[in-house]
Amino acid sequence: MKIILIGINHAGTSALRTLLAQNSGHEVTAYDRNTNISFLGCGIALVVGGSAKNINDLFYCSPVKLEKQGAKVRMNHDVIAVDTEKKKITVRNLETGAVFEDSYEKLIYAAGSWPIEIPGIPKEHSSYKNIEICKLFQHAIELVKKADDPSIKTVAVVGSGYIGVELAEAYQKKGKKVTLIDFEPRVLARYFDKEFTLSLEEDIVKAGITLALGQKVVDYKGENGSVTEIVTDKGSYQADLVIQCIGFKPNTELLPDAKKVKGGALIVDEFMRTSIPDIYAIGDAAAFYHAATETHQQVALATNAVKSGIVAASNINGNSAVKLSSVAGTNAICVFENRLAGTGLSEGMAARLGLDAAASFIEDNDRPEFMENYSKTRIKIVYDKKSLRLLGAQIGSYGNTNHTEVIYYLSLAIQQRLTLLDIAFTDVYFLPHFNKPFNFVLASIMKALGLDYYKN
């Protein structure tokens, strides 16, 4: 079978490996406009801050490895058109400028996403030097270089999502004076509720970072072609370096007739098939079925990218047992000694969606107090008031112990539409070395059911 793949980062690499591991007889050609693949962008802040020493360690595959497996890999090639009726694509070789066509029987669309630009900034100001985005290996090289540049003393990070908070910490570790800006009133507002973000904000401020929340960036100021100041609707802040990380937009313009969600991601079924016959969408370009919202939406995570690539390739190879029926948006972050994990919906997000939801929050020690050492743990569960179906969970670990991996089985509970009662009677162990007789998950459920045995 002749298969074309557009985009070779996490999702595309996963799909290629799976296609050829299961069936080496395919004729597979992969195109990517970049010069490298498989770069773990989630590790950029670790390199910037010095926790990871070698940026090249963030690669886990290469075009050479994929070609040895049997794929034809065409880097520096930009797919500029897709003819879904004739099953042809038009490609431009970015090195030579030559334009040519290629045909397919099956097409896997893994074109990914791209950072959103801050709207309303005058074009002549947005082109100042030292205004950066964070996505690719090339961006990482610049961000690391600037972290080690003594002439850059002040850094403004726009966007307090995961990438923004991680970069703020990284540059603070490098001795920079950092300002973290967001139009939301809280950091990580789309992922965690105030029980987690308010204490995180306190730790951010203790570290010496300026928080400029509830503020919209409206302009940049500069001298000699370089940015010197960032202006919001409520003030201005010095900035020798600005990093924009306010979100990502899926690259789906090549398939204008496919069914998409409002943000532009391609709606896919459990096998990653789009509304166009013989075209699959994977990774950031796809809108998966979300188990908590029961709608399709883009959930741009490397974990989903890898899984979706395996599913699409397996389906092409005739294996219908492999499918991705839903996702829950499971995520985590480790910053300023706050280890946080979440899945499904926060209470705030459930309210935004108009769901009839309730929540239960517990802060407790993770082990019995008669043990020599124990650590503080927080959990919040969000559930449907009528059915008690779990809609979301958030976990915070503080101290020497990490409990965030508990989020895995709560994510599964959301995907399987389990209720609080189902989860409460999960067969778990008790051992004082690890937990309490009523562990923190069970305690939060009991509180939701009116059995709050942990009132202090």
Tokens of 106: 């099956």
Is-contact 58 40, C-beta < 8 A?
yes
Q: How does strand 338-344 pair with strand 390-398?
A: antiparallel
For the chain, give the secondary structure using H, E and C: CEEEEECCCHHHHHHHHHHHHHCCCCEEEEEECCCCCCECHHHHHHHHHCCCCCHHHHECCCHHHHHHHCCEEEECEEEEEEECCCCEEEEEECCCCCEEEEECCEEEECCCEEECCCCCCCHHHHCCECEEECCCHHHHHHHHHHHCCCCCCEEEEECCCHHHHHHHHHHHHCCCEEEEEECCCCCCCCCCCHHHHHHHHHHHHHCCCEEEECCCEEEEEEECCEEEEEEECCEEEECCEEEECCCEEECCCCCCCCCECCCCCEECCCCCECCCCCEEECHHHEEEEECCCCEEECCCCHHHHHHHHHHHHHHHCCCCCCCCCCECCCEEEEECCEEEEEEECCHHHHHHCCCCEEEEEEEEECCCCCCCCCCEEEEEEEEECCCCEEEEEEEEEECCCCCHHHHHHHHHHHHCCCEHHHHHCCCCCCCCCCCCCCCHHHHHHHHHCCCCCCCC
Q: What number of other Cβ atoms are within 10 A of residue 1's Cβ?
A: 13
Is-contact 20 65, C-beta < 8 A?
no
Active site positions, annotated: 10, 42
HSE-CB at 384 with a 13 A cutoff on CA atoms is 16
